[in-house]
């Protein structure tokens, strides 16, 4: 405004200098001057008003409370979901897998989710029903007790007998024959077959064999062959006891069925005891009898020894490994022993070679793991006898024999089976636990002729 006013005055003074008589040009110039002044004032007022309006708006904004969080925009969220959806399907279309494979994966995932949901639902239903079943069982027991209380003693006795019959364990049954040869004083025992034997192994089978002996004299014992994995084995084996007829009256024939275990003690399945006083030997006896539970015959426990046998036919080499022994009989005053093992090889009753292990001090469960090799031609191996004796070492006196084992030609039971398994598996070591027998008993058996 000042500039405009000053320019107007300068123009007015200049006009007076050149035109003191106020010419028409001067009047026009004066009008322009007045218009310029008015426009300058108006523009200044407009600027002042705008500044004041801005200041007023700023003050109002300062006085206003801070705005709260903006409400979620449904339009914005829908827009985001659409963007994500379109992005997902775009990525699916650009994947290297074909659309049918993607569809199959989706179907499998949905099926798994459905199965999981069904299982959870089924479990919840079963949980809900379980207490009800328990209550019903409890109620049934209570009702049965009340009903049983009202019955007479006869009813109770009948129920007791039925319970005993249900609890009676099944041991199977055995078919056998008995005959006596009065001319030769021989009792002939035939073991034919067994049926419905209980399973003793983890696989639901058994490896049964039958042991035959007389009581009270246990010196003469026979064993059948082992029938592998069979609950209805067929034996068809015959054994002969040479006993005078006059001595049979006070004796008992025992037929024991065992489950064979290569690396442990054999379990008794059942047994039959036949008193000779109750049998008419004038005519042959042939019958089936149920087995009853029985214990192993009580014998003096001398311990067990584990032996491994290996034979190589091409090289004619027999390897005997004395592995370990357990539960040996205590021979010293302190309740221990100093065991060692002696191995003797015989051929047709003649001693060929002998070997000894080291002495293990103060133990009843020695571990040896000592091997001995012998050269035996293939033509002679069938008639070789292996005699293994466990001794207790004594520094001052003679060594005491704890027990003895006979393996090979002429042996019976476990000793014969171990030898047969070795011959049937050439070049492979075959390990077997053997129960130690009294030395006198084995020596007496060796003196008898071998059939």
Residue 154: per-residue pLDDT: 45
Q: How far apart are CA 207 and CA 258, in angstroms?
A: 8
Residue 54's pLDDT is: 77
Task: Give the separation between CA 318 and CA 310, rounded to whole angstroms.
Answer: 6
Angle formed at CA 189 by CA 384 and CA 421, multiple of 5 degrees: 30
Nearest Cα neighbor of 263 from 434, 446, 131, 135 is 434
- Residue 110 pLDDT > 70, yes or no? yes
Quickly name the fold that domain 304-447 has. Answer: Immunoglobulin-like (2.60.40)
Mean per-residue pLDDT, 413-428: 91
Cα distances (angstroms) measured from residue 147 to each of 80, 151, 153, 196 = 74, 7, 13, 38
Cα 56 versus chain centre, distance: 88
- Among the listed residues 297, 308, 304, the one whose alpha carbon sits nearest the alpha carbon of residue 328: 304
Q: Calculate mean pLDDT across residues 334-347.
A: 92
Q: Which residue would you say has higher pLDDT here, 416 or 162? A: 416
From residue 223, alpha-carbon distances to 159, 212, 219, 315 in Å are 42, 6, 13, 33
pLDDT of residue 451: 55
Q: pLDDT tens digits, residue range 43-79? A: 666 777 777 777 777 777 766 666 555 555 555 556 6
CB 437 within 8 A of CB 403: yes
- The size of the chain, in residues, is 451
Cβ contact 234:193 at 8 Å: yes
Pairing of strands 317-326, 221-223: unpaired
In whole angstroms, give the CA distance from residue 425 to residue 261.
18
Instruction: Tokens for 17, please give them.
Output: 């200098």
DSSP 326: E
Q: Identify the residue with better confidence: 333 or 104.
A: 104
pLDDT digits (tens, 9 = 90+) for 215-248: 877 667 888 998 988 999 999 999 999 888 888 8
Q: End-to-end distance of the chain based on CA atoms, in angstroms? A: 153
What pLDDT score does 121 carry? 73
What is the pLDDT, as a whole number, of residue 440?
84
Ranking 81-85, 226-230, 387-391 by mean pLDDT, the lowest is 81-85
CATH tag, 173-290: 2.60.40.150
Tell which residue, 265, 193, 271, has the closest CA to residue 227.
Answer: 193
- For the stretch 125-176, pLDDT in tens is 554 444 443 333 334 434 444 444 444 444 445 545 444 444 567 889 999 9
Model confidence pTM above 0.75:
no
Residues 1/41, Cβ–Cβ less than 8 Å = yes
10 Å CB burial of residue 302 (0-12, 13-18, 19+) is: buried
**Interatomic CA distance for residues 10 and 322, integer angstroms:** 141
Q: Are 234 and 191 in contact (CB under 8 A)?
A: no
pLDDT at residue 114 in the model? 87
């Amino acid at each position: 405004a000042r500039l405009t006013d000053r320019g107007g005055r300068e123009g007015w003074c200049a006009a007076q200098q050149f035109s003191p008589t106020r010419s028409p040009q001067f009047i026009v110039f004066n009008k322009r001057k007045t218009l310029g002044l008015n426009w300058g004032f108006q523009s200044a007022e407009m600027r002042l008003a705008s500044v004041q309006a801005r200041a007023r708006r700023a003050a109002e904004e300062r006085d206003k409370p801070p705005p709260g969080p903006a409400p979620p925009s449904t339009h914005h969220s829908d827009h985001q979901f659409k963007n994500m959806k379109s992005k997902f399907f775009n990525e699916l279309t650009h994947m290297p897998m074909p659309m049918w494979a993607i569809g199959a994966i989706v179907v499998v995932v949905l099926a798994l989710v459905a199965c999981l949901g069904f299982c959870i639902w089924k479990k919840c239903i079963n949980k809900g029903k379980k207490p009800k079943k328990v209550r019903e069982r409890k109620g049934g027991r209570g009702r049965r007790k009340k009903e049983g209380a009202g019955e007479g003693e006869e009813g109770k006795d009948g129920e007791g007998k039925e319970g005993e019959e249900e609890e009676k364990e099944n041991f199977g049954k055995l078919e056998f024959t008995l005959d006596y040869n009065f001319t030769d004083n021989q009792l002939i025992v035939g073991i034919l077959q067994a049926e419905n034997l209980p399973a003793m192994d983890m696989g639901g089978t058994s490896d049964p064999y039958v042991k035959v002996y007389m009581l009270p004299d246990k010196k003469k014992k026979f064993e059948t062959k082992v029938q592998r994995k069979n609950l209805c084995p067929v034996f068809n084996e015959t054994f002969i006891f040479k006993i005078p007829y006059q001595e049979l009256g006070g004796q008992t024939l025992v037929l024991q069925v065992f489950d064979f275990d290569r690396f442990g003690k054999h379990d008794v399945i059942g047994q039959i005891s036949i008193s000779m006083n109750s049998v008419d030997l004038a005519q042959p006896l042939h019958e089936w009898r149920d087995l009853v539970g029985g214990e192993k015959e009580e014998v003096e426990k001398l311990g067990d020894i584990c032996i491994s046998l290996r034979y190589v036919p091409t090289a004619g080499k027999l390897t005997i490994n004395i592995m370990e022994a357990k539960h040996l009989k205590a021979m010293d005053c302190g309740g221990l022993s100093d065991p060692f093992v002696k191995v003797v090889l015989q051929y047709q009753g003649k001693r060929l070679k002998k070997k000894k292990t080291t002495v293990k001090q103060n133990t009843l469960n020695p571990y040896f793991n000592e091997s001995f090799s012998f050269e035996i031609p293939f033509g002679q191996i069938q008639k070789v006898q292996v005699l293994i004796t466990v001794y207790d070492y004594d520094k001052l006196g003679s060594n005491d024999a704890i027990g003895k084992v006979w393996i090979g030609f002429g042996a019976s039971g476990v000793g014969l089976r171990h030898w047969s398994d070795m011959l049937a598996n050439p070049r492979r070591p075959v390990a077997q636990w053997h129960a130690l027998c009294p030395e006198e008993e084995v020596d007496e058996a060796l003196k008898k002729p071998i059939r």
